[in-house]
Structure 1
């Protein structure tokens, strides 16, 4: 895991109302439970001067930029995580600050068809710590792309990430660990700074 905090970025992925709140259209069952740990991860990152990247989905009202398999969720009235709608906002308790970076994505990976890699290189970032949802989709795809792009240190905080079930979450954590990704708990990651 990274020890040079100024060269490390915290990626907070998809912690938005439409993925977290009860009754939300794309609710991930484990999402609400990790909000306190995501919040603590952000607080620790701020204390150490890390770059915080808020990775969010924001879609066109008609879903023209969403994956083919989700287009049926969009109508003239909109759909999940439409830009400017309440569902696309960060869940209560999480807030962007000046100096943070907001990255909008329309696919699972935060690297796919975005400028994330360029932003990180420009900022001198070579280590990533990832929190948020959902483990088999956006977390996993982002992590695998980071590994493919040769980031020397990629970590996933296991109790600040979640999936629809604990079993799905655990299976994906094992897969990421098997490709050299660090998988600390929040407490273990916090102890690095002590």
Structure 2
């Protein structure tokens, strides 16, 4: 089993309290519902010997590394979303970085943009990606499309371990990804089928 999955990595994207918790300015409405499935996906990946990579946002307290359209959320005297070393930047309860996992910090939608993810995957012998997390039209889609553009031969987005602000937005973006050759199984399908 481990040989079958040795060239595969699971990217768990932005499953942080500021994106999941109710009342957060950055809350993804469908995020809380997928937490149990993300936990199961991580557990299954580890059993298969899949490299688990936690992709998170950690921002400067002044928001100097945040997209222009979000900088208004980082004002003096106010803690903005996913500021490094704040509780909002922590992984949601039940999600734990374990020995052998890896963590990548990003400041934009794609996990590949201005990070060392691609070189880390290459040196780790990874050419197959499985993606889970939030949110579907932004960080999930941007990462998946960049992986396709960089010719990763296998890119999978597990449909019920990803979420958006509405089911309609989620479904539309899953369809767009499927249309460019990204595999879009459910967690049940991924757990039963060795083709993903």
TM range (shorter): over 0.9
Equivalence for 2:177: 176
Greater Cα shift, 74-83 or 116-125: 74-83
Paired residues in the alignment total: 191
Equivalences for residues 31-180 of structure 1 within 5 A: 31-76=31-76, 77-180=78-181
What stretches of structure 1 move > 6 A for 4+ residues in a row? none
Q: 1:65 touches 1:106 (CA, 8 Å); kept in 2?
A: yes
RMSD of Structure 2 on Structure 1 (CA): 0.9
Quote the residue 2:28 is aligned against: 28
> Deviations 1:90-129 (Å, cap 9, x if unpaired)?
0000000011110000000000000000000000000000
Report the TM-score, using the length of structure 2 for normalisation: 0.96
Following the alignment from structure 2 to structure 1, what is the Cα–Cα distance between the partners of residues 87 and 24? 11
CA displacement, residues 135-167 of structure 1 (integer Å, 9 cap, x when unaligned): 000000000000000000000000000000000
Mean alpha-carbon deviation: is it higher for 70-79 or for 52-61? Answer: 70-79
Q: CA deviation at 1:78?
A: 2.4
Task: Find the residue that maps to 2:6 and give its secondary structure.
Answer: helix
Unmatched segments (≥5 aa) in structure 1: none
The 2-side partners of 1:53 and 1:25 are apart by 25
Question: TM-score w.r.t. structure 1 length?
Answer: 0.97
Q: SS at the partner of 2:25? A: coil
Whole-angstrom distance in 1 between the partners of 2:144 and 2:40 = 21
| Aligned counterparts of 1:80 and 1:87: Cα–Cα separation in 2 | 7
Q: State the secondary structure of the residue aligned to 2:49.
A: coil
